[in-house]
Amino acid sequence: MSPVLLLLLLFSFRKLGDEWSADQNVTGELEAFACLMYGYAREKSVNSVRSIMLQKMVGENQELTTKSKVDLSRFPPCRDSLIPHIGRVNYRLANYKRAYKAIFLRPNPYDPGQGWEKTEEGV
């Protein structure tokens, strides 16, 4: 891994929790980091990494069937799962970064961009 890429990733992690919602740049950089963790440094989308990995497991010209030997636990999370996870991590870090204050205003965890959802029962 190049030193420049490593510095960019460290800067992305450092920006987590600065604001109450993770911005698009941080989210994109963390998605690229997830691709890097799974061995695809040139890819920037976890969905494309999942597609590439699926093609490798099934075969280039083969179809996915019930008899295909695909281990889904080896795939990165899809983007629809990764984005709320980044939101939850950002929310917790934002709380930790403000823990030195006796009282601070914060959004509800179920507000948009925070990563959680409120159910009909209020949970």
Would you state the pLDDT for residue 123? 74
pLDDT one digit per residue (tens) for the chain, 123 residues: 667 767 777 788 889 989 988 889 999 999 999 998 899 988 999 999 999 998 888 876 677 666 677 778 889 999 999 999 999 999 999 999 999 999 888 888 887 777 778 888 877
Distance CA 74, CA 38 (A): 9
- In Å, what is the CA distance from 92 to each residue of 4, 95, 114? 28, 5, 9
Question: Are the beta carbons of 35 and 49 closer than 8 angstroms?
Answer: yes
Would you state the pLDDT for residue 72? 81
Would you state the pLDDT for residue 1? 61
Question: Are the beta carbons of 89 and 61 closer than 8 angstroms?
Answer: no
Query: Residue for token digits 């939850």?
Result: 88
Would you state the pLDDT for residue 30? 92
Would you state the pLDDT for residue 47? 95
**CA dihedral sign, ordered 13, 19, 22, 23:** negative
Would you state the pLDDT for residue 92? 92
Would you state the pLDDT for residue 94? 92
Would you state the pLDDT for residue 78? 94
Closest CA to 37 of 12, 9, 59: 9
The three-point CA angle 107-103-120 to 5° equals: 30
pTM for the full model? 0.80
